[in-house]
Amino acid sequence: MNVENAKPEEPETAEKEFHESIPNKHTRKEYRNGLQRFSAWFGKTPNEILQMRKEDLKSEDRFQRKRFERELEKFHAYLKEQGSATNSARTLCLGLRQFFRYYEVPIVLRRGSEVGKAILTDKTYPLTIEDLRKMFAVADLKQRVILSMAKDLALRIGDFLRIKKEDLPDLNQEPPIPFDVMTGKEEVLAKAHLSAETVELLKTYLPTIKDKANPYLFPSNGKGS
C-alpha cells in the first residue's frame, strides 16, 4: 500500500469527518460507539490512533505494520471477556475497521480471525419462498411493489428505502431491466435487474404517487422515505 496516497486529514477533524460521511444514522451511531470504546480501551484518541496507523504503515518492519490488527484482536478478546456476545463484539470492532478504511489505511484480518465472526441468533428468522408467497397474496399494491423489488435488488433496507422515483430506469425497456444502486454503507455499486413482474407493478404503482412532492419511491407522510 502506498501510504503517501492515503487520504490526508487534519488530526482534529479526522473523527468528525468520518462520522459525517456515514449517511445512515443507525450505522453512524454503531461506528461511533465502537470507535469510542476502542479509543478508551487503547488509551488514545481516534485522531491519535489514525496518526499511529499511518506511521506504522510507513515502517519497513512487517510486525510494526500489523500492530493494529493485533490490537483489534486483543480488543475483541477483551469485549468477549467483559460479556459481549459474538455479534456485539464484531459490531464494536467495526468502528475502528471502518475508520481506517475511510482514510485508506485499512486493516486486513488474518484468515479465521474471531473479529469478523458472526452467528445467527434466535431473533433471526430466514424467510422462505412460501412465506413470501403468503405475504404477496394478502399485500396491497404498494406492499407488492416492495416485496417484488426487494426480491430483485437484495439491498440493505437503508439503501432500498433511499430509492427515489428519479432513480428508476426507463420502464419501457424489455425486462429484465438493469438497475444499479450505489450502496450507502459500503459505497459499492450494486448491480441488479428489475423483473418483468416488478416492472408491471411499478407501472401501476407510480401513477398513485405522481402528484406527491416527496421524491422517494416509498414516501413517508413528510419529506422522508
pLDDT on residue 123: 67
| Amino acid code (one letter) for 116 | G
pLDDT, tens digit, 9 for 90 and up, residues 3-51: 445 554 444 588 999 998 887 788 899 999 999 999 999 999 999 999 9
Whether residue 200 contacts residue 194, with contact meaning beta carbons closer than 8 Å, is answered with no
Q: What is the mean pLDDT of residues 161-187?
A: 88
pLDDT on residue 11? 44
Residue 116 is predicted with a pLDDT of 86
Please give the domain boundaries of the chain with CATH numbers for all domains. Answer: 3-116 (no CATH), 129-208 (1.10.443.10)
Residue 165 has pLDDT above 50, yes or no: yes
- pLDDT at residue 100 tops 80: yes
Three-class SS state of 91: helix
The closest of 117, 121, 122, 124 to 91, measured between CA atoms, is 117
The pLDDT confidence band at residue 121, using thresholds 50, 70 and 90, is: low
What average pLDDT does the structure give for the chain? 89
Q: Which range is least confidently modeled, 78-87, 136-145, 181-190? A: 181-190
SS3 2: coil
Q: What pLDDT band is residue 122 in, cutting at 50, 70 and 90?
A: low
pLDDT at 111: 86
Q: What radius of gyration do the chain's Cα atoms show?
A: 22
pLDDT at 120 over 80: no
Compute the distance between CA of residue 38 and CA of residue 92 in angstroms, rounded to an integer.
8
Per-residue pLDDT, 7: 52
| 3-class SS shares of the chain: helix, strand, coil, % to 5 | 55, 5, 35
